[in-house]
Structure 1
Amino acid sequence: MKEWLNPNNIVELAQHYKSLGPFLGLLLPFIESFLPFLPLVAFVLANAGAYGLWYGFLLSWAGTVVGSYAVFLIVRKYGRNRLLNFLTKSARIQKLIKWVERNGFGPLFLFICFPFTPSALVNLVAGLSDMKKKNYLVTLMAGKFVMIFMISYIGSDIKALFTDPIRTAIVVVVIFLLWIIGKQLERRLNAKVEADFRATAASREEK
């Protein structure tokens, strides 16, 4: 374990990753969009460490945007198919769809900005909603830009993370704060969805 945590070994591993070519750096974030249990943060850090801040950022950003938008398009086309109608049966999904249709860009942008919020759920809900394709693409590109750049900046100097304790502490604090903020945002979103749903139900009963 100590050998793997050695800064020189980390840098050497990043160089080996780089030698595999930029296609892998593009492919891994793309695949993560379809398999959300994969560690997107780790892929972005690896790209930034291997290719540098800007090139690594572009590879990660392009891969995750294309992958997420592909998931959105697939759900948009086949999500209401009989074979996939289980996607729309969930009461939570139905509430989220209606909420997204009413609120649009702003909430989705904030949701996508944070690396620890369920982006797969966002792609699913957006795909099942009536949100325009162009609007979602713009939202996705903007939100992922912020998220991927934050992670890429942290990972652009991997060696410093192991040799500079102050930088390491700052990185740990930033990641923890992003996780906390993302979870708070998710809770508030769920609360707003429930409140809107109850208000809509109450107004229908009054009519």
Structure 2
Amino acid sequence: MDFAAFQSWFTLENIMELIRQYRSFGPLPGILLPMLEAFLPFLPLFLFVLANANAFGLWLGFLFSWIGAITGAFLVFLLVRKFGQRRVLVFLSRHPQVQKLMNWVERHGFGPLFLLMCFPFTPSAIINIVAGLSKISVAQYMLALTIGKMVMIFTISFVGYDLHSLVTKPLRSIIVAVIVFILWYAGKRIEIRMNKSMEKAHNGEVE
């Protein structure tokens, strides 16, 4: 089977059938598929989330997809952070575009990471690698990852589970938009407090 044929296999029906076949393992298939996407970014996270929402229901499907996605992304981040000085990753970190993105992430912290992780078609593997190579703190990264993926995966689950309601009940779409804003604002406030705490700790060490 060539790569094109392999990719063409990934349809909503095939993924849902795969989940049904391994339903005896409980939520494990629903968690492992999004987790695997963090290591193999050519896999369709969008379809995995839709399949989970349809196979397990909106809330359980969202929960399994969210757990799998943040676990996989965090593992990639930790691996890059731990082995970032190895030859391949050092070469990558010296690439001008990667350096620009790293500096941007380091300067702005939570904000850009949150926004990038909110969108389903951003290259999440690159974001995780760049975050791992940068000097952003683990706490900041986890905050952006947890909330950003929550927004993105819930939106896909919500849309895929009940597409008709977006047209017939526009109030639901407005509620989702408000929730996204509240989560972004809350994350930003938490980041500000974290930065102040780190500055106080650093000043205390200097003194």
Moved more, 91-100 or 148-157: 148-157
SS in 2 for 1:115: coil
Choose from 105, 110, 117 the match for 1:100: 105
Cα distance between partner residues in 1 of 2:166 and 2:139: 39
Q: Which runs of 4+ in 1 moved over 4 A?
A: 12-15, 166-170
Q: Which residue of 1 aligns with 2:90?
A: 85
What SS does the corresponding residue of 1:123 show, helix, strand or coil? helix
Structure 1 residues 108 and 167, CA gap change in structure 2 (3 angstroms): closer
**TM-score for the superposition, normalised by structure 2:** 0.68
Compute the displacement of 1:90 (Å): 1.3
Question: Runs of 5+ in structure 2 lacking a partner?
Answer: 1-12, 174-207
1:110 matches 2:121: no
Q: Is the 8 A contact 2:159 2:166 kept in 1?
A: no
Match for 1:16: what amino acid? R
The Cα shift of 1:77 comes to 0.8
The question of whether the paired residues in 2 share the 8 Å contact of 1:57 and 1:148 is answered with yes
**In the alignment, does 2:136 pair up with 1:131?**
yes
Looking at both structures, which has the greater relative contact order when contacts are Cα pairs under 8 Å and sequence separation is at least 6? 1
1:31 maps to what in 2? Answer: 36
Q: Percent identity?
A: 53
- Structure 1 contact 57–149 (Cα < 8 Å) conserved: yes
Provide the rounded CA distance (Å) in 2 between the counterparts of 1:167 and 1:150.
11
Q: Is the 8 A contact 1:43 1:60 kept in 2?
A: yes
Question: In structure 2, what is the equivalent of residue 142 of structure 1?
Answer: 147
Structure 2: distance between partners of 1:53 and 1:84: 38
Residue 111 of structure 1 contacts residue 117 of structure 1 at CA under 8 Å; is this kept in 2? Answer: yes
Code of the residue aligned with 2:61 in structure 1: it is G
Q: After the TM superposition, which residues 37-186 of structure 1 pair with which residues of structure 2 at under 5 Å, given as runs?
A: 37-157=42-162
Deviations 1:60-94 (A, max 9, x none): 00000010011001011112212432221311001
Question: What is the root-mean-square deviation in Å for CA atoms of aligned residues?
Answer: 2.7
| TM-score, normalization by structure 1 | 0.68
Structure 1 stretches lacking a partner, 5+ long: 1-8, 175-207
Offset, 1:46: 0.4
Q: 1:19 aligns with which of 19, 23, 31?
A: 23
1:17, 1:50 within 8 Å by CA — same for their partners in 2? no
